[in-house]
């Protein structure tokens, strides 16, 4: 009985010391990164490149744009970027443009403009420049045919910028009726625009990638230059907010050219 009591007392004395020792012992993986020796393709790197973009669903003129792109990756998952675009096809007519003008009579009537007047007041994108914050929630490595390996990432972005709108016609693009009211007027302006979309990188090497972006430019416009709200006058009250989709494909290069390897 005395031995049992002695063992119990010894256990009571030793247990706290053993618990403290267990608590003080540190795992070699404590505070270690989730992935070791990771290739840091974005963190603290500049990204610059150029490509092309095409508009989708424009009213009267499609746009093919030359689009430079510049970004700085503050961390591996967030970046600041700027994107520009210059329209190199200002006379690329949409199918709706041709259908509409084909239905108009020449000369004009009291109910419709002439094809020349209608064309003179239709506008298109001349250039655009936007800034964006990019958030990269997903990145990784893919294998093609079990032998070709490539890195990729997906990102979402949002921001704001400007879009310049102009016309393709050299005509004044303004119509005055017998009462002196402006019944058609080409809308030429530089509009503030919202900018939002999604993108992806497919890396060709540690310092180059193909970037695909799908963006929506949201701004006020009167693409036809006509009375939209039915008040018999064409003016600023006829401007409407609208979505303008752009698809772009760029070749991008990263600096420094040598990507870091994590610890």
* Token pair for 142: 């893919």
Residue among 259, 262, 255 at smallest CA distance from 72? 255
Q: How many CB atoms lie within 10 A of CB 26?
A: 8
Instruction: Indicate the DSSP class of residue 180.
Output: S
Over residues 148-171, mean pLDDT = 90
Residue 23 predicted with pLDDT over 60: no
Give per-residue pLDDT as tens, 196-247: 999 999 999 999 999 999 999 999 999 988 888 888 888 889 999 999 999 9
153 or 106: which leads in pLDDT: 153
Residue 59 predicted with pLDDT over 60: yes
Residue 122 predicted with pLDDT over 70: yes
216 or 31: which leads in pLDDT: 216
Structurally, how many domains does the chain consist of?
1
Give per-residue pLDDT as tens, 161-201: 999 999 987 666 667 766 777 778 889 999 999 999 999 99
Within 148-187, where are the H helices? none
The domain spanning residue 44 has which CATH number?
Answer: 2.40.160.20
pLDDT for position 183: 75
DSSP 74-123: SSSSEEEEEEEEEES-TT-B-HHHHHHHHHS-SS--SSS--HHHHHHT-E
Instruction: Provide the domain limits for residue 19.
Output: 2-261
pTM attached to this predicted model: 0.80
């Amino acid at each position: 009985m005395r031995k049992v009591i002695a063992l119990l007392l010894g256990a009571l004395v030793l247990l706290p010391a053993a618990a403290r020792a267990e608590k003080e012992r540190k795992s070699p993986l404590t505070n270690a990164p989730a992935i070791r020796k990771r290739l840091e393709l974005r963190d603290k790197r500049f990204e610059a490149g150029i490509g092309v973009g095409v508009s989708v669903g424009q009213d009267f003129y499609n746009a093919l744009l030359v689009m430079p792109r510049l970004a700085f990756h503050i961390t591996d998952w967030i970046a600041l970027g700027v994107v520009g675009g210059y329209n190199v096809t200002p006379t690329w007519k949409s199918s709706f443009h041709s259908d509409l003008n084909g239905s108009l009579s020449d000369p004009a009537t009291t109910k419709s403009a002439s094809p020349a007047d209608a064309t003179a007041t239709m506008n298109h994108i001349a250039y655009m420049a936007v800034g964006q914050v990019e958030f990269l929630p997903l990145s990784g490595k893919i294998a093609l045919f079990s032998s070709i390996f490539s890195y990729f990432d997906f990102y979402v972005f949002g921001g704001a910028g400007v879009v310049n709108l102009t016309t393709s016609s050299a005509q004044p693009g303004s119509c005055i009726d017998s009462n002196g009211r402006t019944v058609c007027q080409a809308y030429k302006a530089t509009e503030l625009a919202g900018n939002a979309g999604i993108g992806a990188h497919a890396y060709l090497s540690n310092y180059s990638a193909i970037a695909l972006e799908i963006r929506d430019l949201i701004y006020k416009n009167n693409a036809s230059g006509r009375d939209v709200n039915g008040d018999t006058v064409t003016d600023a009250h006829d401007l409407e907010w609208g979505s303008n989709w752009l698809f772009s494909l760029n070749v991008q290069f990263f600096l420094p050219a040598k990507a870091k390897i994590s610890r």
